[in-house]
Amino acid sequence: MAKRFLPFRTDVYWGDLLMQKLVGAFDTLAKAVTNDHIVRQAIGTGDTRVYHGLGHQVETWEVVDRNANAVIWQSPTVNPTPETFIILKASAPVTASVRFT
């Protein structure tokens, strides 16, 4: 007797499982393409540790929004955990959205 291959099942369980996997894959891809590492943070005139969420040292960062007229820069203070935080300072207190890569 010849072996028969069963067709791929697309009933409710398998369809739901497949859809979950596809949605997860597209979410991951969207974050990689759009660089969805934007953090909103209050930044003061002193050193402010900002959690960037990359899991590695920041390569680039840019301010994409702020609620006051302030200049923001990376502090020259030695950062003991660059894979987790970046240290920023501002010329005046400000809340800013910062994009990290």
Evaluated on CA atoms 72, 73, 75, 76, the torsion sign reads negative
54-96 pLDDT tens trace: 888 999 999 999 999 999 999 999 999 999 999 999 999 999 9
Q: What does the block give as tokens for 33? A: 């393409």
17-41 pLDDT tens trace: 777 887 777 766 655 555 568 899 9
With a cut of 70, say whether residue 13 has pLDDT above it: no
With beta carbons less than 8 A apart as the criterion, state whether 41 and 67 touch.
no
Query: Which residues are within 8 A (CB) of 100 and not within 5 positions of it... i.e. 6 or more apart?
Result: 37, 38, 39, 52, 53, 54, 58, 60, 61, 86
Q: From CA 56, how far away is CA 42, in angstroms rounded? A: 22
With a cut of 70, say whether residue 14 has pLDDT above it: no
With CA atoms as reference, report the closest residue to 75 among 98, 99, 50.
50
